[in-house]
Amino acid sequence: MVVPGHTSQQMQAAADQAAVAPAAERPRTQKPRSRMMRQYDLVERVRSYNPDTNEDLLNRAYVYAMKAHGSQTRASGDPYFTHPLEVAAILTDLKLDDATIVAALLHDTIEDTEATRAEIDRFFGPEIGALVEGLTKLKRLELVSREAKQAENLRKLLLAIADDVRVLLVKLADRLHNMRTLEFVPEASRRRIAEETLDIYAPLAGRMGMQEMREELEDLSFRTLDPQAYGVVMQRLDALADRNRNLIGEIESQLARKFRDHGLTARVFGRRKRPFSIWTKMERKSIGFEQLSDIFGFRVIMPDLESCYRALGIVHTTWPVVPGRFKDYISTPKQNDYRSIHTTVIGPGKQRVELQIRTEDMDQIAELGIAAHAFYKDDIGSPTELLKRESNAFAWLRHTIGILSESANPEEFLEHTKLELFHDQVFCFTPKGKLIALPRHANVIDFAYAVHTDVGNSAVGCKINGKFAALSSELQNGDEVEVLTSDAQSAPPSAWETLAITGKARAAIRRATRTAVRDQYAGLGRRIVERLFERTKLEYADDKLKGALPRLARASIEDVMAAVGRGEIKASDVARAMYPDYKEERVVRYGAKKGATPAAAAKSAAPASEPHRGPFAIPISGLNSGLPVKFAPNGGAVPGDRIVGIVTPGEGITIYPIQSPALKDFEDEPERWLDVRWDVDETSPQRFPARIRVENVNEPGSLAQVATVIAEHDGNIDNISMSRRSPDFTELTIDLEVYDLKHLSAIINQLRAKTIVARVDRVNG
């Protein structure tokens, strides 16, 4: 490991052992260098845009990283150190500060060498140490799906970006160089990496306004995922460029001359669209290459904002405008800070000409996005604070971070993030004129949640441009949307989740649905508690229960009621917490007599003046002692569960655990509910049905290990079914027979301790 303090001559000598002759400058779209860049080359690249660069810091980082990676090699056979060096070179093209360049040199040291965060902090300072740690992937993520591992690493990356946006710039440069050298990676890994790049990193670069990097990442992914289509598009593009080479120059000169005639100085140049952009447009519109009319576009770079609109007037008064092809992103910028005027005219030679008119600053931001900000200046404060003040793109990132707390699991977070990454924009307005930017294909539900979560949750109808419309109506640019709400609706229908397009709307709907379910449990729990207190002549008050919360290990009264409703604690436990001297009285319970049914037990326990009343005095009707009793078909119930009987005329009584989701089907029929209790004879133990779901690693002998655990703990397997979730995991649904809840919990805990088991859950039908 490198110890700082070497002389510059010593460090250069060490670098020269691994470095060869410097390569010529290259554009970012060119293939990577075949020779390693020397130490002084890197310093010169940084000094070319930042004369105040800390050369000693760059030199120390260069040598430290080179020695840390030592003899490690890449899949291409090149020294591994060529990779961080190329990442640093990409970032010098973006003109980034010293700390970012150093982080690029060190970004794989913690993950792939013996270097530690503490050592990085000691040698290079905590700022650089935090950047490097933010770029270090999570490890030890065994027994989870590839999607979950991908999501957790993306979650960690986004959290690190929220602290320091330079983490994102290094990560994108890292991915760009990996994509440029993807040909050396095994084919199976190539496809996975290219898909991940197209799914996450390319759109992430686009949302941060880094259009040039996004386009190169997309093209490199496209070339890997569909090389035949890529080759066809490139062949057509090259042939078209050969045919139109003179025409492009002619259009450039005519446009520039027209602006000069009106006293404007403009820089005009043509460029062709990238292969992936062309291919996606052909796919989206189901058209052939020959039908594309905007393969070549022209940039018009003006000296100031006023000149942009003067240039637009000259173009529109000189050539016919193509209807529907005008967009002003200067007055209404995109969320990634993109600003430009787009228009299409029938220009010189009767050719359709697509123009983008912008200033030099706008052009820099359009290509480099957040990287266009001068991070190396000393008077700007932290780069992240700078972007919070000046960048709408960073506001989107902070919004995405907010989804972290609303996602129930890693896969859900990944889904939300992908939804946020993939879209062009539609601009709509509230009746008061507030502008709402939404993804293409968004509907009124997405609009409502973009206005406010409460508006979305209480939405019952809408008007689009003054006319009543469905909430699922797709919105178009310029629509004025009025969302109609009702206080009677506090939670949205769960089906809205499948209709929503934006991650924000889906997360809010999912969260509201979970809250509604919790409220249902809390309402049921409160009824159970109040009935117990009424029967036992005890006084119940929320204030008194509030003082007993610590004894119940719950944070709020609603938490207690929901726990009672789910069967996690008993109503008698609540009474005992409020009244320590409370003793639960003996009542006739299910099974008090051999062969007795709950209905019979309830009937025998009721006073003569109130026939057919159960132990909690719940009125019932239409019962007789001959009703058959059975357990819930999907999951059963075991002693220790809080149970409920549901009466089905002509069929009998079905016993459900109180946490069973199936009970929701009977919420509007309270006359069918019967409270029953267990009264198991401990001297004659018997087994009861339960169902568990086991997700285990798909390897030889895994089923035998699961069965062995159950057998060793005296459980009996009644039935088992298997389904293949993925090539790596199998889902087992097992019907067990156990003695009670304690017995079932012990089996579940022992299964969870097995290394081949990823997850175990009890199933309640």
pLDDT, tens only, 724-756: 867 778 889 999 998 888 899 889 888 988 888
Pick the most confident of 112-126, 559-573, 594-608, 656-670.
112-126
Question: Is 24 within the bounds of a domain?
Answer: yes
Same domain (yes/no): 643, 729 = no
More confident site: 652 or 18:
652
Neighbouring CB atoms inside 10 A of 375's CB total 24
- In a shared domain, residues 214 and 233: no
Digit-coded pLDDT (tens) for 237-270: 888 777 777 777 888 888 899 999 999 989 998 8
Residue 442 lies in a domain: no
pLDDT at 201: 86
Query: Mean pLDDT throughout 579-587?
Result: 68
361 and 244 in a common domain? yes
Q: Which of the four pLDDT bands, split at 50, 70 and 90, describes residue 162?
A: low
DSSP string, 306-349: HHHHHHHHHHHHHSPBPTT--EETTTS--TT----EEEEEE-GG
Do 614 and 541 fall into the same domain?
no
pLDDT for residue 393: 61
- Say whether both 153 and 23 belong to one domain: yes
pLDDT band at residue 386 under the 50/70/90 scheme: low
Question: Which of 622, 644, 675 is a domain's end point?
Answer: 675
Mean per-residue pLDDT for 376-395?
Answer: 60
* Same domain membership, residue 198 and residue 61: yes
Q: At residue 411, does pLDDT exceed 90?
A: no
Q: Output the pLDDT for position 547.
A: 84
Task: Give me the pLDDT at residue 570, please.
Answer: 81
Which segment of 23-27, 323-327, 523-527, 571-575 scores lowest on mean pLDDT? Answer: 23-27
Residues 518 and 568 in one domain: yes
**d(C-alpha 74, C-alpha 34), whole Å:** 13
Residue 292 lies in a domain: yes
Q: Any idea which residues carry the catalytic annotation? A: 111-112
Q: Is the pTM of this model over 0.85?
A: no
Residue 437 lies in a domain: no
Contact 23, 45 (CB under 8 A): no
Per the structure, the count of domains in the chain is: 5
What is the structure's pLDDT at 316? 92
Q: What are phi and psi of 219, to 5 degrees?
A: -65, -40
| pLDDT tens digit sequence for 43-86 | 999 999 889 899 999 999 999 999 999 899 988 888 999 999 99
Strand bridging mode 341-346 / 757-763: unpaired
Helix (H) / strand (E) element for 355: namely strand 352-359
pLDDT (mean) for 300-318? 93
- Do residue 624 and residue 708 come from a single domain? no
User: Picking from 381-390, 550-559, 700-709, which range would have the lowest pLDDT averaged per residue?
Assistant: 381-390
pLDDT > 90: what percent of the chain? 20
Taking the C-alpha atoms of residue 734 and residue 747, their distance in angstroms, rounded to an integer, is 12
**Confidence at residue 55, expressed as pLDDT on a 0 to 100 scale:** 92
692 lies in which domain range? 688-763
Determine the Cα–Cα distance for residues 673 and 662; give it in Å rounded to an integer: 13
Q: What residues does 435 pair with on adjacent strands?
A: 429
Is residue 397 over pLDDT 70?
Answer: no
Looking up tokens 């066809």 gives 232
C-beta atoms surrounding 645 within 10 Å: 25
Where do we find the tokens 């027994």? 143
The SS3 assignment for 688 reads strand
Structure tokens that stand for 622 in this block? 């239409």
Quick one: 697 and 643 in the same domain?
no
CB contact at 8 A, 522 and 515:
no
Whether 418 shows a pLDDT value over 90: the answer reads: no
Domain CATH code at residue 324 = 3.30.460.10
Domain termination site, one of 372, 387, 409: 372
Rounded CA gap, 10 and 62, in Å? 12
| pLDDT confidence bin for 178, thresholds 50/70/90 | very high
Query: Does 494 fall in a domain?
Result: no
Q: What is the CATH number of the domain that holds 103?
A: 1.10.3210.10
On whether the CB atoms of residues 125 and 105 are closer than 8 A, the answer is: no
Tell me the average pLDDT across 579-606.
46
Average pLDDT over residues 131-157: 64
Answer whether residue 699 is part of any domain: yes
Where does a domain end: 199, 224, 249?
Answer: 224
| Count of CB atoms situated within 10 Å of the CB of 198 | 19
Q: Find the CATH number of the domain harbouring 705.
A: 3.30.70.260
Decide if 411 is inside a domain.
no
Higher-confidence residue of 635 and 455: namely 455
Mean of the pLDDT values across residues 310-315? Answer: 93
Round to whole Å and give the CA distance between 489 and 661. Answer: 22
419: confidence class by pLDDT, cuts 50, 70, 90: low
In angstroms, the CA 55 to CA 28 distance is 24
Amino acid, single-letter form, for residue 307: S
**Residues 232 and 341 placed together within one structural domain of the fold:** yes
Q: Which residue has the higher pLDDT, 353 or 150?
A: 353
In a domain, 728, yes or no: yes
96 exposed, middle or buried (CB, 10 Å; 0-12, 13-18, 19+)? buried
Q: Which of 59-73, 78-92, 510-524, 693-707 has the lowest average pLDDT?
A: 510-524
Which of 242-251, 268-277, 550-559 has the least mean pLDDT? 242-251
Q: Mind listing the pLDDT tens digit for each residue in 189-219?
A: 898 899 888 888 888 888 778 888 999 999 9
Residues 43 and 155 in one domain: yes
If asked whether residues 553 and 660 sit together in one domain, one would say: no
Quick one: what percent of the chain has pLDDT higher than 70? 76
Q: Which token pair is 22? A: 């410097």
CA angle 459, 461, 463 (to 5 degrees): 120
Surface-to-core class of residue 609, CB atoms within 10 Å of its CB (0-12 exposed, 13-18 middle, 19+ buried): exposed
Consecutive H or E run containing 196 = helix 187-196
Q: What pLDDT, on a 0 to 100 scale, did the predictor assign at position 402?
A: 59
The answer on pLDDT for 180 being more than 90 is yes
For 494, which DSSP code? T
